Structure 1
């Protein structure tokens, strides 16, 4: 059984805070099964956007785990606002979580697929 998106996002926020970082839910989507996008801001100004990984990335041994893929990384995050607005128009049930991971790499907070 897969946990609800609401519970998963709450756990992510707690993991970020316990790692010495900061997290905020920018847009709250569907409680049960909304797609999650994570905007990661580094302390030096770099910004990266992570979104749901394609279905081909999922392993039948761990069907309930959420996987992410890096969608883009830049020194200026203003272009991500337009991308997230397009995603909201396509699917109004998305979640957007903004994090500053602190001393822990984002890859330790999210299951990021590099394929």
Structure 2
């Protein structure tokens, strides 16, 4: 998204992501509901509830915003991952957390992800 483009309201973007994942046979759900129009969106990509990867759109040097991997699930400490995103959501009441449970869920947010 360039500087001059209007930002899509968060609830519209969330709805679109859920529909796209479901249309491909995956499961998507809102884990934490944030501010309807301008909330930050965190996306958890996983496969069959495992191998969670948390992405957040962060400002880049060009003034845009790109999806950045901020946390990966450690299979030996799965609770640590859920505690992390829950703390993040609790610290920002405007924050949405969306889980995409489908192979290579990163493709739905426009980034090349992991291949399972």
TM-score, normalising length from structure 2? Answer: 0.76
What is aligned with 1:92? Answer: 93
What's the CA shift for 1:108?
A: 1.4
TM-score, normalising length from structure 1? Answer: 0.76
Pick 1 or 2: higher relative contact order, CA cutoff 8 A, min separation 6. 1
Aligned length, in residue pairs: 106
For the residue of structure 1 that corresponds to 2:98, the secondary structure is: strand
Q: What do you get for the CA RMSD once the two structures are aligned?
A: 2.4
For the residue of structure 2 that corresponds to 1:3, the secondary structure is: coil
* Structure 1 gap ranges (5+): none
What is aligned with 1:13? Answer: 18
* Structure 2 gap ranges (5+): 1-5
- Deviating beyond 6 angstroms after TM superposition, the runs of 4 or more aligned structure 1 residues are none
Which has the larger share of strand? 2
For the residue of structure 1 that corresponds to 2:50, the secondary structure is: coil
1:93–1:44 distance in 2 versus 1, CA, 3 Å = closer
